[in-house]
Amino acid sequence: GAGVSQSPSNKVTEKGKDVELRCDPISGHTALYWYRQSLGQGLEFLIYFQGNSAPDKSGLPSDRFSAERTGGSVSTLTIQRTQQEDSAVYLCASSRGTDTQYFGPGTRLTVL
Amino acid sequence: QKEVEQDPGPLSVPEGAIVSLNCTYSNSAFQYFMWYRQYSRKGPELLMYTYSSGNKEDGRFTAQVDKSSKYISLFIRDSQPSDSATYLCATLYSGNTGKLIFGQGTTLQVKP
């Protein structure tokens, strides 16, 4: 079956611009996660959605980062006023509850 | 100090060698441990999953957890060029959420 998909696969933007990254989880998965992977920092948790519960935003690095999940399915991660240090691969994962997380291929963000 | 520490390598071995990958963690409350494999330009995929202390074997792969020393290991026997990837150790932050804490990842190259 279809896995987690993310779009775009690559995004190049200028410093100060806003970007939106999209994640389509596996159908039927109630949990959705965003992680960021950068050189020197490894893979860091950003935000977690579980069903209709309030999201766990404890990993968001600043208030420029936000995410929403519409209809319990698709999620969008928004970064406002991008900075060069935001350059990284943004990974989305989904799971049934707290079971195995399945990752998408990621969006490679480059901020010039 | 990071909650999960992993030597980033890179590690280069000849085909057929036994590979040992290791991580340490700081919080004795962690109980669930995973190893993910990530090929270049792909998302991580779950390789092994262990709970508490002990060993778990799956084909050429063995995962080991030593809670007394807060040390987790992944052994690969008869390594193959197709094993060349980045290996990430991870732990579940708590049983109530799926939030994962990752090590930095070790890049492995198996030379034919």
**Predicted local distance difference test score (pLDDT) of residue B45:** 95
- Which residues have C-beta within 8 Å of that of residue B112, sequence separation ≥ 6? B15, B81
Kindly report, residue by residue over B20-72, the tens digit of the pLDDT: 999 999 998 888 999 999 999 999 999 998 988 889 999 999 999 999 999 99
Q: Which chain A positions have a beta carbon within 8 Å of B45's beta carbon?
A: 102-103
Kindly report, residue by residue over A5-37, the tens digit of the pLDDT: 999 999 999 999 999 999 999 999 999 999 999
Q: Which residue's entry shows tokens 């040992």?
A: B20
**Predicted local distance difference test score (pLDDT) of residue B95:** 61
A45:B97 CB<8 A: no
B44:A43 CB<8 A: yes
Cβ(B43)–Cβ(B92) below 8 Å: no
Nearest CA among A43, A50, A51, A60 for reference residue A103: A43
